[in-house]
């Protein structure tokens, strides 16, 4: 009979601080949205106007 032994070696400790992959998984879409919003605000005329923001909010509320 073969006996199997399991070693209870501890897992290596994570490198202190926040891991970039985990941050990207949690906040990646928010970062992309913020970058697109900033680029549009700079290069698209009247993007930041009240009427346009109202229209964007209305469109987003309809699509969920």
* pLDDT at 63 > cutoff 80: no
Residue 33 lies in a domain: yes
Q: Which domain holds residue 48?
A: 20-63
> What's the pTM?
0.57
Is residue 9 a part of any domain in this protein? no
**31 lies in some domain:** yes
Q: What is the pLDDT of residue 21?
A: 85
Q: What angle do CA 36, 43, 53 make, to 5 degrees?
A: 65
Confidence of residue 56 (pLDDT cuts 50, 70, 90): confident
Residue 1 maps to a domain: no
CA–CA distance from 43 to each of 10, 23, 26, 51 (Å)? Answer: 53, 29, 28, 17
Show Cβ contacts of residue 41 under 8 Å, excluding neighbours closer than 6 positions: 47, 48
CB 16 within 8 A of CB 23: no
Structure confidence by residue, pLDDT tens digits, 11-51 = 655 565 568 888 888 899 999 999 999 999 999 999 999 99
Residue 64 is encoded by which pair of tokens?
């969920």
């Amino acid at each position: 009979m073969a006996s199997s032994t399991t070693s209870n070696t501890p897992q290596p400790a994570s490198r202190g601080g926040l891991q970039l992959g985990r941050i990207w998984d949690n906040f990646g879409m928010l970062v992309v949205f913020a970058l697109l919003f900033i680029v549009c605000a700079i290069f698209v005329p009247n993007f930041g106007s009240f009427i346009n923001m109202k229209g964007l909010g209305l469109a987003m509320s309809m699509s969920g």
